[in-house]
Structure 1
Amino acid sequence: MSIEKRLEEMYKDHEVKPYISPERDLAAWLLEAKPVPKRNMIRLEEGLLAGDIILLWRVNFGTFTTTTPYSKYFEYIYGINGPAHMEKLLADGYVYLESAFDSLDHITSTAKKNILKAEGVTGLSKMKAADLDTALKDHLTEEKLAPYFAVRGYALTEKGRAALDNHPEVIDKHPKKKM
């Protein structure tokens, strides 16, 4: 049986067909294939998939940025293309991209000092992280700060928070790291 036929058979009962990256070595994967669970490919009330809820959950921690790598589990367990689904969550108003000022917690104090230094601000050696943030807000506008660094955080909108709150069962089934 061809690879395409095997995939078609594997996912014939799924409401939504899982995403499979063009880079995936299908022959090797099919030897030990664990199909994306059917429950992860059923649209929820909002039209979202379980993988979208997991993306919202990750954004909720406040550490998911434009440079955060997408875990393989988005594709292999949730059947979604993480970056493409994040773009859709942005477009549909579940998530927004933070401003440069809102994203300051994603850059180092050294980077903040270098920005201030470039702007001619002095007395930086005595400043702590909070002082650096204040100095940046005092000396720069959003437009002036934005070009200095590219990383931006993602944050939930009210719509995104509501979708996340509506589906605790998805989060409950997701494996958690032991802290």
Structure 2
Amino acid sequence: MKTLKDVYEHHAEMPFISPKYEQELLKKPIAKRQMERTGEGYLPGHIILLWRIQFGTYTTHHPHHKYFYTTYGIDAQKELEQLIEDGLVRIDTAFESVKLLPVMTLKELLQDKEVKGLSKMKRADLEAALQATYTEASLARIFDERSYSLTEAGQELLDKHPEIIAKHPQKKY
């Protein structure tokens, strides 16, 4: 029976192997191309992570998709932290992340501050009223889920590698 070392001996580097997927990766190995770094030193999995973040739906409470482990061979959480450290991704503020909250929650937060006219307000109005009523610190204490955003450098790196995105199964987010 082949070992992981045998299966991946001809790859440019050893992929991250989560114990949860070890048996699966022995039977269906990660493609060699997924372990080849770009000129900037990133793996295709990093580029796919950037691609997912740019949709604005990736959050601090978002579970990482299985394909990061089984198709791209990266530890998604560790690599996300590295992308943040490298200045390619940033964690949004509470005000920037308010888009994650349902409208009813925004209304409840404003009701707590006795803001009037909530029934006529659209989402943009509610968000503006929230900014006028709360400070960043006070809002940050109320909810802890944050969205991620690409920095300019992260967007530039993503834009340089459309060939990696083109090979990834496409779905609308």
Q: Give TM class, smaller chain.
A: over 0.9
User: CA RMSD for the aligned pairs?
Assistant: 1.7
The corresponding residue for 2:28 is: 34
Tell me, in whole angstroms, the C-alpha distance in 2 between the residues paired with 1:152 and 1:121: 25
Percent of paired sites with the same residue? 48
Task: Spell out structure 1 runs of 4+ moving beyond 6 A.
Answer: none
Aligned residue identity for 1:79 = G
SS at match of 1:125: helix
Matched, 1:67 2:61: yes
SS at match of 1:23: helix
Matched, 1:97 2:91: yes
The corresponding residue for 2:17 is: 20
**Runs of 5+ unmatched residues, structure 2:** none
The corresponding residue for 1:109 is: 103
CA deviations on 1:127-154 (whole Å, 9 max, x unpaired) are 2211110110111111111111111110
Q: Does the 8 Å contact 2:25/2:70 carry over to 1?
A: no
Q: Does the 8 Å contact 1:95/1:156 carry over to 2?
A: yes
**Runs of 5+ unmatched residues, structure 1:** none
What TM-score do the two structures reach when normalised by structure 2? 0.93
Matched, 1:127 2:124: no
What TM-score do the two structures reach when normalised by structure 1? 0.90
Aligned residue identity for 1:88 = Q
Relative distance call for 1:122 and 1:91 in structure 2 (3 A) is same
Q: Does the 8 Å contact 1:89/1:95 carry over to 2?
A: yes
Query: How many pairs align?
Result: 173
The corresponding residue for 1:11 is: 8
The corresponding residue for 1:176 is: 170
Tell me, in whole angstroms, the C-alpha distance in 2 between the residues paired with 1:12 and 1:124: 62
CA deviations on 1:93-143 (whole Å, 9 max, x unpaired) are 000011111111111111111221223323323322111101101111111
Q: Does the 8 Å contact 1:18/1:79 carry over to 2?
A: yes
